[in-house]
C-alpha cells in the first residue's frame, strides 16, 4: 500500500498528456456536470435539475461580491486582484498577515484598515470556495457537499453586509428558490439554505458562550480544592485558542452553593483571520446535570462600561444561590439585552465530551439520595413496635407494566 505521491516518485511519468478543453475526468459530459442535469451519478428517481439554478445563483453572487471588492479594496491595495491571488500564502500561515499587508498595501494601513482589508480578502476566499467541485457532483442539493458550498456563500454575504451594509441574501434566496430539491422536506434550494445553512451560522456571542460553559465544566475546582459552599473563587487571566479565535479571559468570578454554580466574567474575543476583536460579558448559571443558563452581552472598552460591569458583578455575586427564582429573575433584569444560550448551543465535539460526566453526576446523586431516604424511613419505623405504635399499612400500589 502506498499513496500517489510516493508512487509518482518511484515511477515518474514517461508520457506527456495534453488536456482537451471543456472536458472532465469524472463525466463524459465534460463541465456540464457542474451546471446541467447530465444524469451521471444519479440515483433512481432523482434528478439534477437543481444544478443550473444553483450555478446561476452563485454566478450572480460572485458578480455582486466582485463589484463590492473592487470598490472597497482599490483604496487599500496596489492591485486588488493580485492581492487576492497572493492571499493564499496567508491562508497557509496566518502569522504572515501583517507582513503581507505591508507588501500589497497602497499605503501603511491603520488597524481599522487592516481589519477591512482582511475581511475583503476573506470575502473573496469564500467566493472562490463556494465553487468547490463536490457541491455539484452528486444527485441532491441538500447533501453535505451542497450544503457546504452554500455555507461558503453565506459567509461571503455576511462579510459583505458587515463591510458595506449591502444585503445580498434576500435576492440570493429568491434565485436559489428556482433550484428544485428531490426531497419534499425541502422543496427547493432556498429552503435547504434556511433549514441547514442558517442554523449553522456562528455569532461571536455563541463562541463566548461555548467557552464560558465549557470552561465552567472542566476548570471548576476538583473535590479536594472546592471552595466552601457559598464562597467566591476567581480565575487567573488567560488566553486560549479556539479554532480561528483567541479568547482572553479578562476577569472571572465564581460562586457555588451545593450543586448550583454561578460564574460572571469578561472576555475579549479576537479573530486570527480578520483581526476583529470585541469585549463581552457573560454569566453562566449551572443548577446541576444538563441545566445550563448562559447570557452573553457585547460590552464596551471605556471606563463607564468598566464601572458598570463592576457594579453588575457585585449585584450578581451577592445573590443567594439557594433562591434560584431570585437568581434567574436578577439575571434577566440585569442582562435583559443579552443573548441566551444553553447546553445545546455548545459545539458538538465539546458537548459530546461533557455529556457523560454531566449525566453521571445526577445519577450518582440520585442513588445516594435514595439510599439516605430509605435508611431514614427504616430508622423511623424501627421504634414503632417498642412504643406500641401501629406500623403504617404497607402500600397496595403495584407498578403496571405495558
Tens of pLDDT along 218-249? 654 443 344 444 455 566 678 899 999 999 99
**Alpha carbon distances (Å) from 109 to 98, 121, 124, 244, 355:** 9, 15, 19, 23, 46
Domain identity same for 47 and 105: yes
Helix, strand, or coil (residue 1): coil
Q: What is the mean pLDDT of the chain?
A: 85
CA 220/CA 31 separation, integer angstroms: 56
CA atoms within 13 A on the CB side of 389: 9
User: How many structural domains comprise the chain?
Assistant: 2
Is 360 within the bounds of a domain?
no
Q: Is 307 or 390 the better-scoring residue by pLDDT?
A: 307
pTM for the predicted model, two decimal places = 0.80
Domain identity same for 160 and 289: no
pLDDT digits (tens, 9 = 90+) for 28-46: 887 877 788 887 766 778 8
Domain edge (last residue) among 132, 165, 200: 200
Domain identity same for 36 and 183: yes
Q: Which domain range does residue 305 map to?
A: 204-350
Domain identity same for 220 and 141: no
Domain identity same for 80 and 173: yes
Is 94 within the bounds of a domain?
yes
Domain identity same for 196 and 241: no
Domain identity same for 210 and 138: no
Domain identity same for 215 and 343: yes
Domain identity same for 135 and 256: no
Percent of the chain with pLDDT over 90: 52
Maximum average pLDDT range among 245-249, 303-307, 383-387, 393-397: 245-249
Is 355 within the bounds of a domain?
no
Domain identity same for 251 and 170: no
Domain identity same for 213 and 76: no
Answer for the pair 190, 174: CB distance below 8 angstroms, yes or no: yes
Domain identity same for 67 and 187: yes
- 10 Å Cβ neighbour count for 355? 13
Answer for the pair 124, 65: CB distance below 8 angstroms, yes or no: yes
Helix, strand, or coil (residue 221): coil
Is 17 within the bounds of a domain?
no
Amino acid at each position: 500500500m502506498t499513496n500517489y505521491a510516493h508512487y509518482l516518485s518511484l515511477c515518474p511519468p514517461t508520457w506527456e498528456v495534453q488536456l482537451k478543453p471543456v472536458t472532465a475526468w469524472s463525466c463524459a459530459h465534460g463541465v456540464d456536470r457542474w451546471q446541467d442535469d447530465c444524469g451521471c451519478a444519479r440515483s433512481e428517481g432523482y434528478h439534477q435539475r437543481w444544478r443550473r439554478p444553483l450555478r446561476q445563483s452563485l454566478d450572480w453572487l460572485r458578480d455582486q461580491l466582485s463589484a463590492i471588492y473592487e470598490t472597497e479594496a482599490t483604496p487599500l491595495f496596489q492591485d486588488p486582484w493580485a492581492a487576492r491571488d497572493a492571499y493564499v500564502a496567508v491562508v497557509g500561515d496566518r502569522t504572515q498577515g501583517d507582513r503581507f499587508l505591508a507588501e500589497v498595501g497602497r499605503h501603511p494601513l491603520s488597524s481599522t484598515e487592516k481589519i477591512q482589508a482582511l475581511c475583503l480578502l476573506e470575502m473573496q476566499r469564500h467566493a472562490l470556495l463556494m465553487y468547490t467541485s463536490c457541491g455539484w457532483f452528486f444527485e441532491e442539493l441538500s447533501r453535505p457537499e451542497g450544503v457546504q458550498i452554500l455555507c461558503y456563500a453565506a459567509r461571503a454575504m455576511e462579510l459583505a453586509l458587515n463591510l458595506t451594509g449591502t444585503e445580498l441574501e434576500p435576492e440570493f434566496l429568491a434565485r436559489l428558490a428556482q433550484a428544485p430539491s428531490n426531497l419534499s422536506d425541502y422543496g427547493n434550494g432556498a429552503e435547504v439554505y434556511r433549514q441547514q445553512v442558517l442554523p449553522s451560522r456562528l455569532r461571536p456571542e455563541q463562541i463566548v458562550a461555548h467557552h464560558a460553559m465549557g470552561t465552567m465544566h472542566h476548570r471548576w475546582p476538583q473535590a479536594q480544592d472546592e471552595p466552601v459552599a457559598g464562597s467566591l473563587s476567581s480565575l487567573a487571566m488567560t488566553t486560549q485558542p479556539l479554532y480561528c479565535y483567541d479568547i482572553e479571559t479578562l476577569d472571572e468570578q465564581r460562586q457555588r452553593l451545593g450543586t448550583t454554580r454561578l460564574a460572571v466574567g469578561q472576555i475579549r474575543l479576537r479573530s486570527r483571520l480578520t483581526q476583529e476583536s470585541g469585549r463581552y460579558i457573560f454569566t453562566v448559571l449551572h443548577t446541576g446535570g444538563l441545566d445550563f443558563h448562559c447570557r452573553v452581552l457585547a460590552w464596551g472598552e471605556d471606563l463607564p462600561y468598566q464601572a458598570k460591569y463592576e457594579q453588575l458583578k457585585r449585584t450578581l455575586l451577592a445573590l443567594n444561590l439557594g433562591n434560584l427564582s431570585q437568581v434567574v429573575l436578577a439575571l434577566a433584569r440585569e442582562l435583559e439585552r443579552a443573548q441566551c444560550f444553553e447546553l445545546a448551543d455548545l459545539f458538538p465535539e465539546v458537548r459530546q465530551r461533557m455529556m457523560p460526566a454531566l449525566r453521571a453526576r445526577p445519577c450518582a446523586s440520585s442513588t445516594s439520595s435514595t439510599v439516605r431516604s430509605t435508611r431514614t424511613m427504616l430508622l423511623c419505623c424501627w421504634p414503632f413496635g417498642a412504643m406500641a405504635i401501629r406500623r403504617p399499612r404497607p402500600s397496595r400500589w403495584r407498578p403496571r407494566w405495558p
